[in-house]
Amino acid sequence: MGIEDEVSGNAVKVYRAMKDLGYLSEEKLGTAERITQTSKLPKTMVMNALQELQTKGWARRKARDKAAGYFLTK
């Protein structure tokens, strides 16, 4: 069972963008802004996709001083 079966198309695009950027651990966090630039989706869609990935357990969010960081868990 792959990610394509569990989440929407936009979430898959965001997942692949994060994987290409190397946001694979808590030490390598990426901001929503950088993910937006790479995935070429509007920021609202990226934020919704990140929320969906978090709900399904594919990504985690870490609160920081200025901007939250995101990384993949699977």
Q: Is residue 70 part of a domain?
A: no
Q: What is the CATH number of the domain that holds 37?
A: 1.10.10
Q: Is residue 7 part of a domain?
A: yes
pTM of the model: 0.91
Q: Is residue 69 part of a domain?
A: no
Q: Is residue 72 part of a domain?
A: no
Q: Is residue 20 part of a domain?
A: yes
Burial of 72 (0-12, 13-18, 19+ CB in 10 A): buried
Q: Is residue 46 part of a domain?
A: yes
How confident is the prediction for the chain on average, in pLDDT? 93
Query: For the chain, how many structural domains are there in total?
Result: 1
Q: What's the pLDDT at 5? A: 84
Q: Is residue 45 part of a domain?
A: yes
Q: What's the pLDDT at 1? A: 61
Please give the average per-residue pLDDT across 31-59, as a whole number.
Answer: 95
Domain range for 22: 3-61
Q: What's the pLDDT at 2? A: 79
